[in-house]
Amino acid sequence: MSDPSLPVIAVHGGAGALDDPGTSGLGPDAPRCEGVGRAASAAWDLLRRGGSALDAVVLAASMLEDDPTFNAGTGATLTATGHVELDASLMDGATLAAGGVACVKDVKNPVLLARAVLESSGHVLLVGEGASGFARESGIPPWPNDRLITPHQQARYEAARGREPAKIGGGTIGAVARDVRGHVAAATSTGGTFLKRPGRVGDSPLIGAGTYADDRLAAVSATGDGERIIQVTLARLVAGLVGAGRSAPEAAAEGIRVLGDRVGGRGGVIVVGPSGEAGFAFNTPAMARAWSDAAGAIRTAL
């Protein structure tokens, strides 16, 4: 059993292949493992100082957005037309307040815009130019689309342009946390599938699909085959299983089993319940992840 007074953080850097582009190595020294470890450490420090679960998942997600290794924020995969279109969402389990943005091209950290949507828009989901307009009203400065594009992703696009879109995102990032007051929160951010159709929205910005948090259930962030995750409302499904009495690891495993069996989907999920128990599951070859263990140490795995 975990110490109920100890905060908990769990972070993922996307479910996909072991040799995801952007990774120069494998094992715990891989850039993806380093990235999720750094984000988890920073978020855990915040939680230990009494920070809220919502602040912790926003911090972790924004760090992963800024890390060019991951398919979110800077370093996102390009669309069929060679641009970056970003999606993100977050949810506060204490209040069920939620915010999301989709198809945003001119914001450096979409999870910060999603938080502004949660806090001051009166809405839950804003998309496209409407979301950009709200960013400006909220004091979030414009950020050039080409500054979100890394040389690696540009080269990958040039080599593949005109080909079929990738079937799996492979690099969505997410975080779930429980704070010292027992509240949970979740956040998810992505550039979507490589060579996606502009205007395509996957699971990451959708409450219940890529992200869900409810103190009575659990906090969940999903990654993988976005369309399949939407069809089974994966984040809400896994949170509901914890609420029905399953352990967090059991709920994660059952959610991924449903994803595979019902709709043939591939992906992964991270979950933390109100008791502080964390769980992971994925049916892809790898999912970069980091979490705080029962002793408060940050562990990473691919």
Residues at the contact surface with its own copies, assessed by CB under 8 A? 91, 96-98, 102-103, 121-131, 133-134, 165, 197-202, 206-209, 212, 226-227, 230-233, 236, 240, 262-263
Looking at the Cβ atoms of 231 and 247, the one nearer to its own copies is 231
Q: How far is the CB of 227 from its own copies (least distance, A)?
A: 4
Looking at the Cβ atoms of 88 and 91, the one nearer to its own copies is 91
Q: How far is the CB of 122 from its own copies (least distance, A)?
A: 7
Looking at the Cβ atoms of 37 and 255, the one nearer to its own copies is 255
Looking at the Cβ atoms of 42 and 201, the one nearer to its own copies is 201
Of 23, 69, 79, 172, catalytic: 172
Give the containing element (helix H, strand E) for 166.
Answer: none
Q: Which residues contact 257 (CB under 8 A, 6 or more apart)?
A: none
3-state SS, 114-152, equals: HHHHHHHHCCCEEEHHHHHHHHHHCCCCCCCHHHCCCHH
Q: How far is the CB of 198 from its own copies (least distance, A)?
A: 4
Q: How far is the CB of 291 from its own copies (least distance, A)?
A: 26
Class of residue 83 by CB neighbours under 10 A (exposed 0-12, middle 13-18, buried 19+) = middle
CA distances from 1 to 61, 105, 232, 260 (A): 27, 44, 30, 30
Q: Which residues contact 39 (CB under 8 A, 6 or more apart)?
A: 11, 59, 60, 61, 63, 64, 67, 175, 290
SS3 call for 241: helix
Looking at the Cβ atoms of 44 and 212, the one nearer to its own copies is 212
CA distances from 168 to 20, 209, 221, 232 (A): 11, 15, 16, 16
Looking at the Cβ atoms of 236 and 246, the one nearer to its own copies is 236
Q: How far is the CB of 9 from its own copies (least distance, A)?
A: 23
* CA atoms within a 13 Å half-sphere pointing along the CA-CB vector of 89: 32
Dihedral of the alpha carbons of 167, 104, 53, 273, in degrees to the nearest 10? -30
Q: How far is the CB of 168 from its own copies (least distance, A)?
A: 12
Distance of alpha carbon 24 from alpha carbon 31, whole angstroms: 7
Residue 172: active-site member: yes
User: Which are the catalytic amino acids?
Assistant: 172
